[in-house]
Structure 1
Amino acid sequence: MADHSAIEWTDATWNPVTGCTKITAGCDNCYAARFSERFRGVPGHPFENGFDLTLRPERVDQPLRWRRGRMIFVNSMSDLFHKAIPKEFIDQVFETMETADWHTYQVLTKRSPRLRDYLKGRYADRAPPSHIWTGVSVEDRKGAARVEHLRDSPSAVRFLSVEPLIGPVGDIDLSGIHWVIAGGESGPNARVMHIDWAREIRDACRDQDVPFFFKQWGGYRPKSGGRELDGREWSEWPQSRQVAG
């Protein structure tokens, strides 16, 4: 668990699972895989096994030890809804989030059908907690189905992470979506994000009254291009945001 995160839209990260497998073009230059694989084979290192999917049960209760409220990005180094993660383990993660309710959690996935089905089962007879936000990654127009799956999921706050933005998303229906993050790719093989793609998303948010957060232009380093879009920074948040104490 990292108490301080360089990610602009969160305060901390919590990784009860690490490692993943690539399933879309947005995964091609995954920062988490690139970082993890640097340490493959290093005895005793947390990433001794590189980016192989690894359950870390010793980390499941970490948020309970943090008494000051934080915005926590869940599994920044994995995907909680990967098909190889047992439902029982996902249950444990959600039980911790529900218990440590002084934090706000941001759960982000590309496996949107499993997210939808899990949430429908878990919250079939009760309201989803307001402090657990769920989102899906969308890198271009091919991710439209993930938005539909998210819209069909019981969640207090639904958000889109449109990053790395590697193509236009086209006309996007944001009904039932409470927040949109957009940003370009970073790293040695970063693909260029065209300004019209970013404007398209921003304008859709403005037209449909959805808060818009522009994270970065990207480049070789995350901060290479700054955060301004058309002369200003966009750092809007959902109205239900819980401010860390």
Structure 2
Amino acid sequence: MAENTAISWARHTFNPWMGCTKVSLACDGCYAEALMDKRYGKVQWGPHGDRVRTAPANWNKVKKWQREASAVGEKWFIFCASLADIFDNQVPPAWRKDLFDLCRECPNLTFLFLSKRPQNMIKMSEAAGGLPPNCALGATCEDQKRADINLPHLLIAASRLRAAFAFGSFEPLLGPIDAAWAMSSNLLEVAAGILDRGHFSPGLETLRRLQWVITGGETDQGDHKARPSDPAWFRRLRDQCTASGVAYHHKQNGEWISHEQMGGGWEYTRTKDGIRYGVLSEGDFEKTNRLFGGRDFPTEYPWNTAGPGGWGPGPCMVKVGKGNSGRLLDGREHNAFPAVA
């Protein structure tokens, strides 16, 4: 579906403004900060930096996409915004209203509002005149703790605001997550999951479940070095989607792959500073260099802290780079999208 964006789960990316503040572990390697603040100096990141609205020409191209999508009778997914958070506290409310007004003018475009602040969605959307019906709400969840915090807020907001659908972005995935309750087709289970996490559930007549799950590994950004994601963490969410009939999309593996994906074994492991390490044999070291362009790989790689199901040592991870790790999970791409009315 991607056209003018490298993001596989959207056709286009639109940034109405730039700038944000880090709020969770998922923000540690923020590519938007590395690019727009540290590299280009276009916006200052953090709570004391002013958000920067993009030029009118950038806003006008959205109307062009609407005309093009309408002409071919299609619905296009627009990621809004990759360089900001729509529900950031530092964004002037008038800008959000302008964005919502633009969305209403473009019914053939489905705007994907991915946020790390789902607790702000209801208040800020209502202040902007209500969420347009062609806007989907999503929340980033990098580990179980964040999923238990964000998913109830997301589903409550998607239900109350009548979002096009609710989706979860489990990227960068930094730990095993059980989100089966939020995907369940039995809305009583969804309501019980919200209640178990300390919130009152909307009524079943309006209650939404997760309809789309996106997973991905972390990539290097500036001084931040990517943390590995155990493939078992991706599989767990994939299998929960399959069981519940939820669309599953795997964006990327990140900088790392497991050594099992290379088909090799390990001579031995050792512990250093509380981290388990696997050591490549001489043959595996040569194989790694041959497969991935002759790069000078170290011979030791960290084990993940948890294996399948969240317990025990996971696979030893090999850092091969984003371009080499690819998007395959168990030998195939996962490119599902949710249905849009």
Q: Give yes or no for TM over 0.5.
A: yes
Q: Name the structure 2 match of 1:231.
A: 331
- Report the count of equivalent residues: 230
Q: Aligned to 1:180, which of 174, 194, 213? A: 213
The one-letter code sitting in structure 2 at the alignment partner of 1:23 is: V
User: Which consecutive residues of structure 1, in runs of 5 or more, have no partner in the other structure?
Assistant: 41-46
Partner SS, residue 191 of structure 1: coil
- Supply the distance in 1 between the matched residues of 2:215 and 2:129 (Cα, whole angstroms): 29
Query: How far is the alpha carbon of 1:21 from its aligned partner?
Result: 1.0
- Supply the distance in 2 between the matched residues of 1:203 and 1:3 (Cα, whole angstroms): 28
Q: Name the structure 2 match of 1:44.
A: none
Contact 2:80 2:111 in 1 (8 A): yes
Q: Which has the larger radius of gyration?
A: 2
Asked if 1:54 is matched to 2:52, the reply is yes
Contact 1:60 1:92 in 2 (8 A): no
Query: How far is the alpha carbon of 1:123 from its aligned partner?
Result: 7.4
Asked if 1:197 is matched to 2:233, the reply is yes
Query: How far is the alpha carbon of 1:198 from its aligned partner?
Result: 0.8
Asked if 1:77 is matched to 2:110, the reply is no
The one-letter code sitting in structure 1 at the alignment partner of 2:97 is: D
CA deviation string 1:80-112 (max 9, x = no partner): 111011222111101101111222211110010
- Supply the distance in 2 between the matched residues of 1:119 and 1:142 (Cα, whole angstroms): 26
Greater CA drift, 29-38 or 164-173: 164-173
The one-letter code sitting in structure 2 at the alignment partner of 1:179 is: W
Query: How far is the alpha carbon of 1:164 from its aligned partner?
Result: 0.5
By relative contact order (CA 8 Å, sep 6+), the higher-ranking structure is 1
Query: How far is the alpha carbon of 1:222 from its aligned partner?
Result: 3.6
Q: Name the structure 2 match of 1:7.
A: 7
RMSD of equivalent CA atoms: 2.3
The one-letter code sitting in structure 2 at the alignment partner of 1:9 is: W
- Supply the distance in 1 between the matched residues of 2:116 and 2:248 (Cα, whole angstroms): 20
- Supply the distance in 1 between the matched residues of 2:55 and 2:156 (Cα, whole angstroms): 30
Q: Name the structure 2 match of 1:65.
A: 64
CA deviation string 1:27-67 (max 9, x = no partner): 00111111112112xxxxxx2x3544323363444412332
Q: Aligned to 2:250, which of 192, 211, 214? A: 214
> What TM-score comes out, normalization by structure 2 length?
0.62
Partner SS, residue 13 of structure 2: strand
Partner SS, residue 68 of structure 1: helix
Q: Name the structure 2 match of 1:96.
A: 102
Asked if 1:86 is matched to 2:92, the reply is yes
Q: Name the structure 2 match of 1:162.
A: 170
The one-letter code sitting in structure 1 at the alignment partner of 2:182 is: L
Asked if 1:140 is matched to 2:143, the reply is yes
CA deviation string 1:204-226 (max 9, x = no partner): 11122211101110117543311
The one-letter code sitting in structure 2 at the alignment partner of 1:186 is: T
Greater CA drift, 220-229 or 75-84: 220-229
Contact 1:218 1:224 in 2 (8 A): no
Query: How far is the alpha carbon of 1:139 from its aligned partner?
Result: 0.6
- Supply the distance in 1 between the matched residues of 2:14 and 2:79 (Cα, whole angstroms): 6
Partner SS, residue 232 of structure 2: helix
- Supply the distance in 2 between the matched residues of 1:18 and 1:27 (Cα, whole angstroms): 15
Greater CA drift, 69-78 or 17-26: 69-78
The one-letter code sitting in structure 1 at the alignment partner of 2:330 is: D
Q: Aligned to 1:118, which of 117, 124, 131? A: 124
Contact 2:118 2:150 in 1 (8 A): yes
Instruction: From the superposition, tell whether residues 123 and 50 of structure 1 become closer, same or farther in structure 2 (CA, over 3 Å).
Output: closer
Partner SS, residue 249 of structure 2: strand
Bigger fraction of residues in helix = 2
User: Which consecutive residues of structure 2, in runs of 5 or more, have no partner in the other structure?
Assistant: 70-75, 184-208, 256-319
Contact 1:181 1:214 in 2 (8 A): yes
Contact 2:141 2:169 in 1 (8 A): yes
The one-letter code sitting in structure 1 at the alignment partner of 2:176 is: P
Contact 1:159 1:180 in 2 (8 A): yes
